[in-house]
Amino acid sequence: MPNHSIDQLLSIMAQLRDPDSGCPWDVKQDFDSIAPYTIEEAFEVAEAIAQRDYPELKEELGDLLLQVVFHSQIARERGLFDFNDVVQVLCDKMVRRHPHVFGESDAADEQAVKVNWEAIKQQERAAKGREHDSALDGVPAGLPALQRAAKVQKKAAKVGFDWPETAPVRRQVDHELAELDEALASGDRADIEDEFGDVLFTLVNLSRHLKLDPEQALRKATAKFERRFRQMEQDQPEPLNTLDDDALEAAWQQAKKAGEL
């Protein structure tokens, strides 16, 4: 089996980007056009992990690495930085943020590591002239909405802006649902959207207090629905769109029971 190296991968990427002999599609791309693919590849890595499909994980990690190489090649062409610079910055950051491993500091447990990590990040922001940044900084706008809401809430909680326990968060869910009902009664679409967003945001807050990942919980719920729906399609001799409401409900209950066996 050939022993491929990162240097070979970088060479392949450079050849694909060659304006004279490269691939027309690759040559045409820039940071903005590639960004959606980078996000997509990260999700495909997460899906392979969730499925415990390790051969697929190996392939998807390669695809994600390709995105890093692609961005780095574009940056090298523009004289911004190259792949080696990316690796150097990463290595420096990992050593700097783990003084309990690479330095003389101590960290007795995971919580101590987190405290040190945040303190070092604050020092890094100050060194960049960002010491007055918001406590909510550092959460990418491009994250999935549920994940971003959880991260924003977590950052707010670190400075004490949080419910002290789960019970009041659960009550707040009911409060937000009541406000959604009022918006529905008014028929104001903008108000409905606003209140519906508040419901989702509060549910994310509840998941955080329950120590659940809202993204993962929703993925599991969606997968469960998909399994049951496919079971319905398989069990019914007639197309689902020909069934009335009662027949659909009966088929759904049958599919649920089948999934529990």
What is the tens place of the pLDDT at every residue in 153-200?
999 998 899 999 999 999 999 999 999 999 999 999 999 999 999 999
**Mean pLDDT, range 229-239, rounded to an integer:** 91
Q: Which residue from 61, 33, 36, 31 is spatially nearest to 47, judged by alpha carbons?
A: 61
Do 29 and 66 meet the contact criterion of CB atoms below 8 Å apart?
A: no
pLDDT band at 261, cuts 50/70/90? low
CA 58 remoteness from chain centre: 19
3-state SS of 76-108 is HHCCCCCHHHHHHHHHHHHHHCCHHHHCCCCCC
Do 155 and 136 meet the contact criterion of CB atoms below 8 Å apart?
A: yes
Residue 244 is predicted with a pLDDT of: 92
Domain boundaries, the chain: 6-96, 134-212, 216-260
Do 205 and 163 meet the contact criterion of CB atoms below 8 Å apart?
A: yes
CATH class of 134-212: mainly alpha
Cβ burial, residue 72 (10 Å; 0-12/13-18/19+): buried
CA–CA separation, 243 vs 207, rounded Å?
A: 37
pLDDT in tens, 248-260: 999 999 999 887 7
Phi, psi of 221 (to 5 degrees): -65, -40
**Mean pLDDT, range 69-91, rounded to an integer:** 97
Residue 1 is predicted with a pLDDT of: 47
* Radius of gyration of the chain from its Cα atoms, rounded to whole angstroms: 25
pLDDT in tens, 94-143: 999 888 888 777 777 888 777 777 777 777 777 777 655 788 887 888 88
Residue type for position 139: V
Four-point Cα dihedral 42, 47, 49, 55, nearest 10: -90
Residue type for position 29: Q
pLDDT in tens, 6-18: 999 999 999 999 9
Four-point Cα dihedral 35, 41, 45, 48, nearest 10: 150
CATH architecture of 6-96: Orthogonal Bundle (1.10)
How many Cα atoms within 13 Å fall on the side-chain side of residue 168?
A: 4
CA–CA separation, 182 vs 180, rounded Å?
A: 5
CA–CA separation, 110 vs 133, rounded Å?
A: 26
Residue type for position 163: W
Percent of the chain with pLDDT over 70: 97
The pTM is what?
Answer: 0.66
CA–CA separation, 51 vs 175, rounded Å?
A: 37
Task: Please indicate whether the domains covering 6-96 and 134-212 agree at the CATH topology level.
Answer: yes
